[in-house]
Structure 1
Amino acid sequence: MNEPSAGPTLLGVDILWVATLLSAVATLAILVALYAATTVRDPMAKRVKALNERREQLKAGIVASTAKRRVKLVHQSETTDRMRAFLKSLKVLQDEQLKTAQVKLAQAGIRSKDLAVTIIFSRLLLPIVLGGTVCIGVYLLDWFPDWSSLKKLGLAAGSLILSYKAPDLYVQNLISKRTDAIRKGLPDALDLLVICAEAGLTVDAAFGRVAKELGKAYPELGDEFTLTAIELGFLSERRQAFENLGRRIDLEAVRGVVTTMIQTEKYGTPLASALRVLSAEFRNERMMRAEEKAARLPAIMTVPLILFILPVLFVVILGPAACQISDTLIGGKM
C-alpha cells in the first residue's frame, strides 16, 4: 500500500501545520477583540457618581456617608498622623514640600491630600529597605562574587537613588499620561463650551454639559470639568474654582483657558469669541504635532521593515520555489 504523501515542507517544517496553527491564533485574537468590543464599560459613570455624592455631602455638611467609610477614614487619618509625627520628629517634613506633593497628586488625578505624607514617608523608607537590602547583600552576603568593586558600588548607589526617586517617578508617570489624555480632548471641549455659551447656558452649566458629552471619549477631562462645575456651584469665589482647575492640570493650554475664564468673569468680556480663538489655536497645535509625528514615521519604520517585514516577504516569495526545488531533488535521489 502506498503511504499518504506528506504536505509541502520548508526547512523540515510542515507548511500546512504552521498555517493551521497561525489560523487558530488569528481566530483566538478575533474572539478576544470581539469580547473586548462588546464589554466596553462607561469609564465616567463611577467617577461622576462619586463626585455627585461628594457634592451632596459638602452641601449637607456631612463628613462621611456611612459608618464603614467613617471607620476607614479614621484609620487612614491615624496612619497618616503617625507618619506625619514621625517625619516631624526627624525634622524632614516641610510645609512647602507637603504642598508640592499635594499639587503633584492632584495633577495625577489622586484627590486624597493625605497621600502626600505617604509619598514623603516612602522617600525615607524605601532607600532604607530596598537600598539597605542591596547593600547588605552585595557587601556582607557576597551576592555577586565575580563583580568588581566598581560594579558593586554602582549597584548599591543605583539602588539607593532609584528607591528614593521611585515614588516621584511613579507620580510623574501618572501626570504625563493624564496630561496627554487631557491635551487630546481640550479643543473639542472648548468647541462645546463655545456652543453652550452661545446657547445661553451659565458657565457652571456649560462645564457640566461638556463633562457629560465628553466623559466617555475623554474621561480624565470629563472628570476635571465635572469637579469644576461642582466647585462653581458651592465655592464662594468662582475665581477659586478656575484656579483650582489650572492647578490640577499641568498643561499650559489649560492655564490659558483659566485666565480667559477669570477675565471674562471679572470684566464681562464675550466668552464665546475668546474660547473660539483658543480652540482654533489648540487645533492648529494638535495638527502640527500630528504632522511632526507623521514626518518621523518613515525613519522610525525603517528598522521594523528590515527586521520583520522583509524576511516574511522573502519567505512568501521564495517559499514555494524552495519547496518545489526540495521536492524535485528528493524525488530525483529516490
Structure 2
Amino acid sequence: MDTSSFPGMWAPVLMLGAALALLFPSILTFFRSRRDTESVERRLARRGPVSGEAEQRRPSSRIGKAVTGLADQMAPDDDEQGVSAAKARLAGAGFVEPSAVARYYFVRLLCIVLPQLGLLAALPYLSSLPGTTPLVISVMLVIIGLIAPGMYLDKRTKTRWQECSSGFPDMMDLLVACVEAGLSLDASVQRVGEELELRHPIIAGYMRTLSLELRAGKARKSAWRGFADRLGIEEAGSLATMLRQAEEMGTSLGQTLRIFSADMRQRRILYAEEKAMALPAKLTLPLVFFVFPVLLGVLTLPAVVMFKEIL
C-alpha cells in the first residue's frame, strides 16, 4: 500500500467526522425537543382536536417532521446578532416563511456534508491519482458548499429586484387610474394587487401585505415605508417619500401620483435608450475577436496566393 496517499484518502473521512461531531449536539437537542413536543401533543390531544389550519402547517410524514425539527434546532436563537441579517437577506430573496432561517442553515450544512459523502464513496475510483488530490478536492468542495447558498440567494435577490423594477411603472399606471376613478388610496392598493397577480406576482404579493397592514390600522407612512423596504428598489422609496409629503402638505393625491407615474414612465424610456446606446460598445469585442479576423483572412488570402505563385 502506498503510504503517500494516506492523507488524501482519509481527508474526506476526517472532514466528515468533524462535521458530524459539530452536528452531534444539535441531534441530541433535536431528539429531546421532539420528545417534549410529542408530550405536549399528547396533552393537547386529550383536551380536544387541533384546528385545521394548524394541522395543515405540520409536516405529515415522520421524515418531514424530523427535517423540520432538525432545521429549527440548527438555526441560531432570535437574540443572536446574525439572525436579523439572515432574515432580511432571505426576505429579499423571497423566503419569508417563519422557518426560512432554520432551513437556510440546514441547507448550508447539507452543502458541506453531502459532497464529502460523495467524495468518500468515490475514493476507490481516485486511487490512481496522487495522494494529495482527494484532500484538495475535499477542501474545494467545502469552500463551494460554503459559498453556493449565498450566491444562490444573491442571484435570486437580483432577479427579483429586476422584475420589481420593470413592473413598477405598470403598478403606478394602475394606481393612478384607480385613484382618479374615485377609489381611495387603500382601496386602490388592494385593487392593483389583484390586477397584478398574473403579470407581476412579486409586486402583487408585496401589495397584499401592504393592504393588510393598512386594514389593520397601521399608519400610512409607516406602511408605505415598510413596502419600500421590502421591495428594495429606489422607485418604491421615492414613492413612499412622495406620499408622506403629500399627506403632510395636503396636496392632491391624484395629481401627485400622475406626475410620479409620468416620471416613472420617462425613466423606463431613458433606461431603454441607455441599453440601446450601450449596445455598440458591447459589440466591439465580438467584432474584433470574431468578425475582424475573418474579414482580414478573406481580404489578404488572394494576395497571399498571388505572391506564392509569383515567387
TM range (shorter): 0.5 to 0.7
5+ residue gaps in structure 2?
1-49, 292-311
Superposed counterparts of 1:282-293, under 5 Å: 282-293=264-275
The match for 2:149 is 167
The match for 2:87 is 102
Superposed counterparts of 1:259-270, under 5 Å: 259-266=241-248, 268-270=250-252
Contact 2:214/2:220, CA 8 A, preserved across alignment: yes
Contact 2:71/2:105, CA 8 A, preserved across alignment: no
Deviates more, 1:253-262 or 1:111-120: 253-262
Residue 117 of structure 1 aligns to which amino acid in structure 2?
A
The match for 1:143 is 126
Whole-Å Cα distance in 1 between the matches of residues 62 and 238 of structure 2? 39
Shift of 1:206: 0.9
137, 150, 173: which one pairs with 1:191? 173
Whole-Å Cα distance in 2 between the matches of residues 285 and 222 of structure 1? 21
The match for 2:98 is 113
Shift of 1:303: 7.9
Contact 1:105/1:113, CA 8 A, preserved across alignment: no
Whole-Å Cα distance in 2 between the matches of residues 266 and 63 of structure 1? 45
- Indicate the SS of the match to 1:182: helix
Whole-Å Cα distance in 1 between the matches of residues 130 and 281 of structure 2? 39
Superposed counterparts of 1:24-39, under 5 Å: none
- TM-score between the two structures when normalised by the length of structure 1: 0.58
The match for 1:297 is 279
Residue 95 of structure 1 aligns to which amino acid in structure 2?
E
The match for 1:218 is 200
**Share of identical aligned residues, percent?**
28
Shift of 1:180: 0.9
Whole-Å Cα distance in 2 between the matches of residues 128 and 94 of structure 1? 27
5+ residue gaps in structure 1?
1-61, 310-334
- Indicate the SS of the match to 2:195: helix
**1:123–1:306 distance in 2 versus 1, CA, 3 Å:** same
Aligned residues: CA RMSD: 4.2
Q: Deviations over 1:18-57 (max 9, x none)?
A: xxxxxxxxxxxxxxxxxxxxxxxxxxxxxxxxxxxxxxxx
Contact 2:59/2:65, CA 8 A, preserved across alignment: no
The match for 1:227 is 209
The match for 1:256 is 238
Contact 1:211/1:221, CA 8 A, preserved across alignment: yes
**1:190–1:87 distance in 2 versus 1, CA, 3 Å:** closer
Contact 2:72/2:99, CA 8 A, preserved across alignment: no
The match for 1:83 is 71
The match for 2:115 is 130
The match for 1:158 is 140
Whole-Å Cα distance in 1 between the matches of residues 275 and 84 of structure 2? 36
Contact 1:84/1:93, CA 8 A, preserved across alignment: no
The match for 2:22 is none
Contact 1:102/1:116, CA 8 A, preserved across alignment: yes
The match for 2:253 is 271
Shift of 1:230: 2.5
Whole-Å Cα distance in 2 between the matches of residues 111 and 250 of structure 1? 14
Residue 177 of structure 2 aligns to which amino acid in structure 1?
I
